[in-house]
Amino acid sequence: MSFYFLEATAFIKLFVQEPGTDSLIRLLEPLEDNRKLIAASTPLEVYAAIRRRERAGAIAPEDAAAALESLRQESARTVQQPLNPAVLEAARQLLDRTALRWPEALQLGAALTARDMFQGADIVFVSTSAPLLETAKAEGLEPLDPTRGPVAAE
């Protein structure tokens, strides 16, 4: 059984129409909520991105409000990996051996810690960041970029 860890660049696509949004929605629709994972910091990161877009005029205030409400609801249904000492240590180790920035290391550290929790399960790391996907693959996760064409859940 596969679990899908949605990094922030992918998770935002559920609330703001972007390339890869339709593909990601098709991927996630048939999945039970307990197979969708995010870092506990991801809702705040996505919230900030939506507000930045609203302030820049890229999203109308009413669309931002609707996106934020959807974010609240979806975040509550998704399994959140707490930012506990194990996640922070995994992120620190990633910073020691990769060129990732700290927010990326935190996301990937959360996914690696989730993999340890769900032993025997495949963790698909969903992101649109090429360097992050490369590093995730090197760490033994299955990378998936929803902007790269159709994707299907297992």
Q: What does the alpha-carbon distance between residue 92 and residue 130 come to, in Å, rounded to a whole number?
A: 20
d(CA 92, CA 109) in angstroms, rounded, equals: 8
**Would you say residue 109 lies in a domain?**
yes
Per residue in 95-126, pLDDT (tens digit) is 999 999 999 999 999 999 999 998 888 999 99
Residue 42 domain-assigned?
Answer: yes
Report if residue 152 sits inside a domain: no
pLDDT confidence band for 131 (50 / 70 / 90)? very high
What gap in Å lies between CA 12 and CA 68, rounded to an integer?
A: 10
For the chain, the domain total comes to 1
> Could you tell me if 128 and 9 are in contact, meaning their C-beta atoms sit under 8 angstroms apart?
yes
* Domain range for 91: 2-144
Is 20 within a domain? yes
Asked whether residue 113 is assigned to any structural domain, the reply reads yes
Mean per-residue pLDDT over the chain, rounded: 94
CATH of the domain at 17: 3.40.50.1010
Q: Is residue 68 part of a domain?
A: yes
Q: What is the mean pLDDT of residues 11-24?
A: 94
Specify which residues 124 forms β-bridges with: 4, 142
Using alpha carbons, list the distances in angstroms from residue 15 to 27, 64, 65, 71, 88. 15, 9, 10, 7, 27
Structural domain includes residue 151: no
Domain assignment of residue 153, yes or no:
no
- At residue 85, does pLDDT exceed 70? yes
**Residue 65, Cα to own-chain centre: how many angstroms?**
21
Q: What is the pTM for the complete model shown?
A: 0.93
Segment 47-75 shows an average pLDDT of 97
Task: Tell me the average pLDDT across 75-80.
Answer: 95
